[in-house]
Structure 1
Amino acid sequence: MRIATFRSGGRRRVGSLSPDGKTIRPFDLGAAEELGALAVIERGLRADSPSLGASIPTAGLVFDAPIPRPRRNIFCVGKNYHEHAHEFAKSGFDSSAASGAVPEAPIVFTKVPECVIAPGAAIEIDPAASTAIDYEAELAIVIGKGGRGIKKVDALKHVWGCTIVNDVTARDLQAKYKQWDIGKSQDTFCPMGPVLVSADEVDIANIDVKCWVNGELRQDSNTSLLIFDIPTLIETISAGITLYPGDIIATGTPVGVGIGFNPPKYLKHGDTVKIALSGIGVLENPVRQRGVSADAKIAAEARA
């Protein structure tokens, strides 16, 4: 099942997409529609749910993040691909590099729920806060069955499905504070979507992860290359933290982020970041400087 959250008639709706993506069957969720796909997960609804209505065309609909506001912080994993671990360690921005480029255990941090934005929404750069904004294409899994002390052998039974996340990062803040939450949780720093795909439709251990900036392919990898696989991540986090339905775990980004280039290729006003994960879809977002419109940028370039 492929779940999408969208806007129609001035209200948020949630529905099950057809295989070709051309139509969607909205769920009847009442006030819980504001929760997006989280309401579907918490109620245990499936593709044969009697609460599904008639199909409507998707053409012209505005899609939101599948879970527009997670109930809790998003769990994220740093340095979880070997090549990325080495490129980050060499960048001079990695406060954990002293203990080795490749971590011995998962590095887990979080992003606040309020930084989630929809496909097509702008990633905002605020020069007063940061001048080193980076992109990170990632597979994110969503918990369907909660639990504590989950063992690796049982971990995948707790996964509802997956989506795409762009773990946008302020590298200068990440280095300044010697921890990652502030640099990762800036407003608009978590584009998510376009859909939430149930685990039975994809092989989460074999998903191609690609990212382009302005049409230039920057990241090209596969989740089979994760240092710590998804069962390990679930076991690690749940060892002392209870996971709940709807919790999101972003699994890490592969080599090719902006900080890995010399000089670094940071995001700037007018850029477009496009992320594609096989079996899930495409997440694309423009980059805008706060307080500056795209039209103003075009006019300035024309005068130059």
Structure 2
Amino acid sequence: MNLASGKAELDSCPYVSEEARAQLAEASAPPIRPVTIGKGVRKATAGGETVMYRHEKTFYNPTLIAGMITSDTTVGDVEAKLAAWNAFQYERVGLNLRPELVALKDVNGDREAFAQLAKVIAEKSEFNLILMSADAQVIKAAVESAGFKRPLIYAATEDNVDNFGQIALDSELPLAVKADSIDGLIALTDKLTAMGVKDLVLDTGTRNLKQSLQDQVAIRRASLKDSNRSLGFPTITFPCEMTSNGDMETLVAAMFVAKYGGIVVLSDFTTESLFPLMLERLNIFTDPQRPMTVNEGIFEIGTPDEN
């Protein structure tokens, strides 16, 4: 009973057999699987949610925010952009708010250039990686150079699911799945989980604002209310591909932060868009039963003197 209600940990019982442990772990897992991207102190987790609405209990893992870099960018420009992006950190109620991800998108099929940039991002920044390409060989080259950072591979489709699934399985990396519909996603996730790939992220493929919102709600409802394990994974959304207007992109991203996006990918990071998104995310993913507080004390502000 305590295990089912989340009041006890399975590891606290030393008498459970390995077979029973696996079955109980599967049965007691969150309806939306938590998927970790990255390693070390900057690793980030999407998913793991258990309720439709924040006031029912709480949301656990804040929406991850990514900025896009294309593979035709020079190494020097990438390094400069990473340095600028790393400065986007904001202090709020004692917390450090910052974006977590860089999405590296293959635009020319040059596997060497793609792998080189992936290595630069992995080694010279604290950002975690999303590797985006439809070419399995390009992804494989990038995994060889930056796999130590545990990037998210994007994306397995109906055409390449076997190759991408094998890469994710061999490298033990999370894998995004893209289809033209929710039914298409179910077929792909069932196939990948049967292969042994467990850490999946869902993309319904649509870049229409209304349809994308409907898909986010439908996936969350199916996984929580209908216990549909085939859809029990976090989602990835692309406001950067839904509009060419920066202000509208920020508004679309804000919608996905509020409505179930596990990862939101932006075309760029700018203070005027990132700071409001960080604050929105902070407020939505704060436990409503535990108000935000700061440490009590007397703090020096400025340079006070005897006057």
TM range (shorter): under 0.3
TM-score (norm 2): 0.22
Greater radius of gyration (CA): 2
Greater helix fraction, Structure 1 or Structure 2? 2
